[in-house]
Structure 1
Amino acid sequence: MLGNGMQFTLMGLRGDIEGFSAPELGIITSGYFAGFLVGARYTPVLISRVGHVRVFGALGGLMSAGLIAFPLLADPWAWTALRVMLGFCMSGIYVTAESWLNAQSTNETRGKILAAYMICQTVGIIGAQWLLTLGDAATSVLFIGASILVSVSFAPILLSASPAPATTVSRPMSLKDLFSSSPLGAVGIFFLGAIYATQSGMGAVFGGQTGMTANAISLFVAALFAGALVFQYPIGWLSDRIDRRKVICGSAAIGGGFCMIGFFAGDNEFALLAAAFIAGGMTTPLYALLLAYTNDYLTSDEMPGASGGLVFVFGAGAILGPLLTGWAMEVTGPFAFWLSLGATFAVIAVYALYRMTQRAQMPVEETDSYISVVPGATPVAAEAASAWAADNVEADVADDRATA
């Protein structure tokens, strides 16, 4: 995640140096999520054909090579192709790692293991922003550093004596069935995909176009992810105790409100960092909220397919978000970054309010447990989290009956 987190911000830093426009950088950003979506679907097929370790090693080698290739190919279309490849590789790496963690965990430990895994992902991305301050984006040093980190990270897995787990991903639920089961879950996760991809891919572009220094851009992007570490637990705690739609609406409204603060902040760095911290801090909990809310209306047998469907819908939104934001930044200026985010948060908040008038509240004691799943998780992690939540509820019900 240190290596992967570096390349996200490097695209904006080096792209600005190369003179790429905001729409071009939006296309490059979307390329990653397009590759990620394909990788989540087809990596299990590759693993079934040639084996777990071979796929893991091949994807790691391709990703390491791709990172080094960026400074050699200063062309937007070449970068887009490389980003598609990196997205595919990273998705496959996630599938492999998540399958391994899931296979090594039990019902008692799965929740803690998944939570620790998600924390490692977020901390890795934040730490990567600090590493970017150690070099110059105009040279190849940072790209080489990211490549080295990625290469080194595979050694513990490739040299491990642990047996490789079986990797299976359930067939995604159809979009029609997913929307019928949970309209708010399907619509919300689509727009959240646009928010997450815009924050992670276009944040550095915004910083470059507004004249921030490289160090300030790194701090700004780190703030977008740091908020998740602070708000994940309190929002999750609250969602297990009141109507989740209220928490979804409130979180989206807060995110949208701070985006407006960012829009009017101008060159006030403190206000920009505060807006990034709070708006970014609402994004990750919203993903887990929408996943948990969708699971509340599904049976245990339906959850795996729904998780795959939600990942697909999230990916579709992630592809579209940077494209629209890049175009808006080109037409109206860099602060359209905040307008795009704020408008998308507002759509989620308003739709959650609307859904509260269309469906009665589910009793809190019948809802599944909340678990911190970060945006960009593959169906493997989403399915594991859903299974853990369902098992947790069943265990609580059994305990209540025993007590009675």
Structure 2
Amino acid sequence: MENIALSQSTHKTSIFVPVVGLSLFALASGYLMSLIPLSLTFFELNASLAPLLASIFYFGLLLGAPCIASIVTRIGHSKAFILFLNILLCSVVAMILVPQSWMWLLSRFIAGFAVAGVFVVVESWLLMADTQKQRAKRLGLYMTALYGGTAIGQLAIDYLGTTGHLPYLVIMGLLAAASLPALLVKRGQPQASEQHSISLSALKTLSKSAILGCLVSGFLLGPIYGLLPIYVSQDMGLDQQTGLFMALIIMGGMLVQPLVSYLSPRVLKNGLMAIFCLLGTAAIFLLTQHSIVSLSIGFILLGACAFALYPIAISLACDNLPSNQMVSAAQMMLLSYSVGSVIGPLVAISFEQMEHGLLLYLGASFMLTSIYLGGKLLVNTRPRLSAP
């Protein structure tokens, strides 16, 4: 897999442009993710299209992840960031102009490719740090900006609604605004030089737990983004509170990032992921209760646990790698996340005939991952008997 070797420029790389641009992108993306399944009826599209739209988006993410490095190397981080944002903007325009199933599926596939570009550009920009603590802090800032913007974007469901063209026009405006920092600020951008790749032997040394963490993150977040809004609205009968509860999920993901940044360099990351998966199982139990307090706590805890896995996993993958292989590792992690995100919504559908089907799927994903990581941790830390 290709990688970008980031040369040291004469000035420090600024994190202002990627963080501000990412925040505006997250506002639009958060609103769009929940808006799409809820606006299908307005555009006279079948509601059964929702899981397919979620899966094909992540399929685009999956195919786009390995292709981004060469594009960034040729045109640079700033131009690549603008390019991918505008591709995403055009995909939204196409959905409004041609409200047909085939066009929406095609647009979401293209959007997945574009979002993969946004993620890899921003992650590679922010990973240009010398120590694990600096990387953890920057990843924490990255996740906070991403999830904070996404949480606020979810609230737009209640204020701007899910019908008509206005919601999509607002999203288009936010995506256009996200390009402005990269257009206006020219200083502090990373410089791309020659490309390097992680060899096959080096790929084998990447932490299996890190790959699993990203894969399970996709198993969880694909259905949370693509199916949970409909589940909350219809199955739970909370149509008026859908935006609020989705915002609580993302808010939980944002609030946990400082804790992840603090703990990640200090404790065993395998154990940390296992603990968050165990807490995620408890969150699913709370969501089966009818109390508004239990539901609120459950949604916040669900978001905290689901969104904690990816930054911990990518930090684990990068721990022992040289700086000129960081982006390849990030691409590998994004690839694993994308595979999980494609499969997750399709597997979750098989649970829909059961009571609390989607919640059972999420709970099983958390529990099995916790058991595996916990067991692996016990095996690795068990003292070995020395031969007499």
SS of the equivalent of 2:39 reads: helix
Contact in 2 for aligned 1:199/1:224 (Cα 8 Å): no
Instruction: Return the alpha-carbon distance in structure 2 between the equivalents of residues 149 and 183 of structure 1.
Output: 37
- Alpha-carbon spacing, 1:13–1:170, altered in 2? closer, same or farther (3 Å): farther
Gaps of 5+ in 1: 363-404
CA drift of 1:181 comes to 5.0
Q: How does 1:175-254 map to 2 (within 5 A)?
A: 182-210=207-235, 212=237, 215-238=240-263, 240-254=265-279
Check if 1:126 corresponds to 2:126.
Answer: no
Structure 1 match to 2:27: 2
Q: Of the candidates 26, 34, 39, which is equivalent to residue 51 of structure 2? A: 26
Check if 1:337 corresponds to 2:363.
Answer: no
Instruction: Return the alpha-carbon distance in structure 2 between the equivalents of residues 272 and 173 of structure 1.
Output: 47
Instruction: Return the alpha-carbon distance in structure 2 between the equivalents of residues 235 and 46 of structure 1.
Output: 31
Structure 1 match to 2:349: 326
CA drift of 1:64 comes to 1.6
- Alpha-carbon spacing, 1:291–1:8, altered in 2? closer, same or farther (3 Å): same
Contact in 2 for aligned 1:43/1:95 (Cα 8 Å): yes
Q: Of the candidates 64, 72, 76, which is equivalent to residue 39 of structure 1? A: 64
Contact in 2 for aligned 1:59/1:92 (Cα 8 Å): yes
CA drift of 1:238 comes to 4.5
- Alpha-carbon spacing, 1:250–1:53, altered in 2? closer, same or farther (3 Å): closer
CA drift of 1:211 comes to 6.0
Contact in 1 for aligned 2:136/2:265 (Cα 8 Å): no
CA drift of 1:61 comes to 2.6
Task: Give the counterpart letter for 2:273 in structure 1.
Answer: I
Q: How does 1:3-402 map to 2 (within 5 A)?
A: 3-15=28-40, 18=44, 20-22=46-48, 24-49=49-74, 54-101=79-126, 112-162=137-187, 165-167=190-192, 171=197, 182-210=207-235, 212=237, 215-238=240-263, 240-262=265-287, 264-265=288-289, 268-295=291-318, 298-300=320-322, 304=326, 305-329=328-352, 331-332=353-354, 335-360=356-381
CA drift of 1:83 comes to 1.0
Give CA deviations for 1:65-101 in whole Å, capped at 9, x if unaligned. Answer: 2223334444443222111111111222333344445
CA drift of 1:207 comes to 2.0
Q: Which runs of 4+ in 1 moved over 6 A?
A: none
CA drift of 1:152 comes to 1.7
CA drift of 1:245 comes to 3.3
**TM-score, normalization by structure 2:** 0.79
CA drift of 1:223 comes to 1.2
% identity of equivalent residues: 20
Task: Give the counterpart letter for 2:366 in structure 1.
Answer: F
Instruction: Return the alpha-carbon distance in structure 1 between the equivalents of residues 209 and 203 of structure 2.
Output: 10
SS of the equivalent of 1:37 reads: helix
Contact in 1 for aligned 2:60/2:113 (Cα 8 Å): yes
- RMSD over equivalenced CA pairs, Å: 3.1
CA drift of 1:290 comes to 2.9
Contact in 1 for aligned 2:65/2:117 (Cα 8 Å): yes
Instruction: Return the alpha-carbon distance in structure 2 between the equivalents of residues 181 and 96 of structure 1.
Output: 21
**TM-score, normalization by structure 1:** 0.76
Instruction: Return the alpha-carbon distance in structure 1 between the equivalents of residues 161 and 60 of structure 2.
Output: 28
Instruction: Return the alpha-carbon distance in structure 2 between the equivalents of residues 100 and 219 of structure 1.
Output: 32
Contact in 2 for aligned 1:16/1:209 (Cα 8 Å): no
Instruction: Return the alpha-carbon distance in structure 1 between the equivalents of residues 325 and 185 of structure 2.
Output: 32
CA drift of 1:202 comes to 1.9
Task: Give the counterpart letter for 1:30 in structure 2.
Answer: S
Number of equivalenced pairs: 354
CA drift of 1:343 comes to 0.5
Give CA deviations for 1:358-386 in whole Å, capped at 9, x if unaligned. Answer: 32379xxxxxxxxxxxxxxxxxxxxxxxx
CA drift of 1:154 comes to 0.8
Q: Is the deviation greater in 63-72 or in 238-247?
A: 238-247
Task: Give the counterpart letter for 2:254 in structure 1.
Answer: L
Contact in 2 for aligned 1:29/1:80 (Cα 8 Å): no
Give CA deviations for 1:39-62 in whole Å, capped at 9, x if unaligned. Answer: 332233234445555544443333
Instruction: Return the alpha-carbon distance in structure 2 between the equivalents of residues 61 and 210 of structure 1.
Output: 36
Instruction: Return the alpha-carbon distance in structure 1 between the equivalents of residues 379 and 160 of structure 2.
Output: 54
